[in-house]
Amino acid sequence: MTEHRESLDSDRQAVAPGAYDDAWFRQVAESAGDVFFVIRTSPDIAVEYLSDAADILFGYPASAVLSDPQLFISRVDPRDWPELERVLGWAPGQEQFHELRWVHRDGRPITTLSWVRSVRRADGSIAIEGNARDISELRSAEQTRLLFEDRYRLMAESANIVLWTMALDGTITYVSPSVEQMRGFTPQEAMNQPLDEILTPESQQIVAAYYTDLYAALAEGRAPEPFRCEQEYLCKDGSTIWTEVEVLAYLGPDRQVMEILGITRDIADRKQVLDDLHASRDELDAANAALTEANARLEYLSVTDPLTGAWNRRHGERILSADLDEARRYGPSMSLLLLDIDRFKAINDTFGHQTGDRVLIEITQRLQSNLRTSDALARWGGEEFVIMARQCTLGDATALAEKLRDIIRETPFADGGNVTVSIGVAELKTDDDLSTWLSRADRALYSAKNAGRDAVRGLA
């Protein structure tokens, strides 16, 4: 160590003969983390002393800077050249702390805090003496803090965000100024409001439920979960405003809850858009339902007889054709009944067409009430009806026809008196098509008519 110091002393004296040869001063300067320096400013500028910490601070060894003073000046950030010139021009007796920005050899920005004084020496020269301490991390931390403070202030003063804190007993301890734009109350007014003057009853229940969960978590030693919900706030003008609230329990070093932190966002516009969207969706659903109902109604009208409600002839033919094809594949017995109202023209002529219509309607009702669910009834023409009797032989179909004939004959009609019908029955044959099947039923009906009406006839 002694040999190193002696060598160091020799180097310094070689650069600046007779200047600053105090061994104690140099020992302190070289062992410190700060950069100690002595710069002669008059009659000319020269770096007379620079401690070894310069290598760490600037990236150049002290010996290099001592041999080239311009290297020292070139490390100063160009933005601070005016400040450096001002200090180098000090008159003897001036001293102060000041900051200076530098650029490390590797390009990193460096900020130093220095104590500097200007002195006149015995030989009449003027020198600047001082030290420089690296405070880059400190300044970086301060800038980060200021940045977060600016962000916090921006959030706190934003018109659609309110920051607030609350004690565990429910006391509001802070409300940001933006509450006045959101609700119309000053921060002081908002802090002094009880819960029933802040939230609607429904939203108060949400808060109560949160505190119940919070206390349960604390009692069980669990960390409270972050909480988010929508709440409806009361405004000073009597209106309400919808908000989204985020709540976080702030824990201290001992994991105890210190206070409740909250952010309240104005979502009135978003809520209105959603309400409008839901209303539009409801209207669309209603329109679709109405359209579906209308289509179903149109479909019903397209396949039914508008007067009696029975299937119309076109749909009846579709049903008969489909059943005929199925019978050909699987072979179940099937019969067709062709029914005609006897002397229906006389009913119209005697009682009027409205009475005739009522007779048609009531006959349809009597037939439908006495048919099986598997049977099908269609109005075939003016006073003619076709009945499809599935899985029914000629004998069973003839018995059904007699039953239907009796039901119509035995109960007089309110306006038309006694009415009778004639029915022709035909069982499906393997070689039948729809035309031949209907033709045989028609021949059976003609036979019943020739038998004096009010009769049933069947053809195998």
Q: What positions carry a catalytic annotation?
A: 383
Instruction: Round to the nearest angstrom and report the end-to-end CA distance of the chain.
Output: 135
As given in the structure block, the two tokens for residue 12 are 């310094």
Burial 390-404 (b: 16+ CB within 10 A, else e): eebebeebbebbeeb
410 DSSP β-pair partners:
none
Cβ neighbours around 179 below 10 Å, total: 23
Return the residue matching tokens 């980060």: 144
- Sequence-distant (6+) residues with CB within 8 A of 443 are 424, 459
Question: What's the rounded Cα separation, in Å, for the pair 372 and 392?
Answer: 11
Q: Give CA 216 to chain center in angstroms.
A: 30
As given in the structure block, the two tokens for residue 90 are 């000090």
Cis peptide before 82 (omega within 30 of 0): no
- Sequence-distant (6+) residues with CB within 8 A of 406 are none
CA distances from 268 to 179, 194, 271 (A): 14, 23, 5
Helical axes 23-31 vs 2-15, angle rounded to 10°: 100
Question: What's the rounded Cα separation, in Å, for the pair 95 and 115?
Answer: 7
What's the DSSP call for residue 196?
G
Q: Report the candidate in 418, 457, 422, 410 with the shortest Cα–Cα distance to residue 340.
A: 422
Return the residue matching tokens 């020198």: 127
Strands of the 126-134 sheet, one edge to the other: 46-50, 35-42, 126-134, 109-120, 95-103
**315, 304 contact by CB (below 8 A):** yes
- Sequence-distant (6+) residues with CB within 8 A of 292 are none
| Count of alpha carbons within 13 angstroms of residue 198, beta-carbon side | 23
| Burial bucket for residue 457 (CB in 10 Å: 0-12, 13-18, 19+) | buried
What's the DSSP call for residue 203?
H
**350, 370 contact by CB (below 8 A):** no
